[in-house]
């Protein structure tokens, strides 16, 4: 918002909105992936989700949050006369498409990562995060 609206990046750079939505789709996909992956790895929770389900959840989570954002933009435009959707339907559709591209990238990478045979940098990083923050994963 700061760079896009206040610094004029939406006007200055035609690609700015697409980069933001692709990266937000990617990052929200990572968040969705981590949510179910951590639950899946916890022995105290009796879940055994297959890699395909985890990847599908990450994708769906990211796209759902992107759709909620578009609803928020529509509401702001409708109720407060803002211009968050810029060109309306075309802007919304491109936002949802590139949100989905970012989410799909995470889903595919996450699926490939979960079905591989060797440890990776990401797995080591996630495990070290869990070990460094045990209170986040403790049950009350």
Per-residue pLDDT tens for 55-93? 999 999 999 999 999 899 888 888 887 766 667 788 889
Sketch the domain layout of the chain as residue ranges. Answer: 15-137
Cα separation of 63 and 40, whole Å?
Answer: 21
Question: According to the model, what pLDDT value does residue 133 have?
Answer: 85
Q: 25 is written with which tokens?
A: 């789709």
- The label of the residue with tokens 């409708």 reads 78
Question: According to the model, what pLDDT value does residue 30 have?
Answer: 95
Question: According to the model, what pLDDT value does residue 5 have?
Answer: 52
Question: According to the model, what pLDDT value does residue 7 have?
Answer: 57
Question: According to the model, what pLDDT value does residue 85 have?
Answer: 67
Question: According to the model, what pLDDT value does residue 2 have?
Answer: 47
Question: According to the model, what pLDDT value does residue 59 have?
Answer: 98
CB–CB of 36/54 below 8 Å?
yes
pLDDT in tens, 2-61: 455 555 666 677 777 788 889 999 999 999 999 998 888 877 777 788 999 999 999 999
């Amino acid at each position: 918002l700061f760079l896009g609206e206040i610094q004029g990046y939406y006007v200055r750079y035609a690609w700015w909105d697409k980069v933001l939505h692709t990266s937000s789709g990617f990052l929200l996909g990572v968040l969705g992936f981590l949510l179910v992956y951590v639950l899946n790895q916890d022995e105290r929770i009796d879940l055994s989700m297959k890699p395909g389900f985890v990847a599908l959840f990450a994708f769906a989570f990211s796209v759902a949050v992107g759709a909620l954002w578009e609803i928020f933009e529509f509401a702001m435009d409708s109720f407060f006369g803002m211009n968050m959707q810029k060109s309306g339907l075309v802007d919304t559709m491109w936002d949802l498409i590139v949100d989905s591209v970012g989410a799909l990238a995470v889903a595919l990478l996450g699926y490939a990562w979960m079905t591989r045979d060797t440890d990776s940098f990401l797995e080591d990083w996630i495990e070290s995060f869990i070990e460094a923050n045990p209170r986040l994963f403790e049950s009350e």
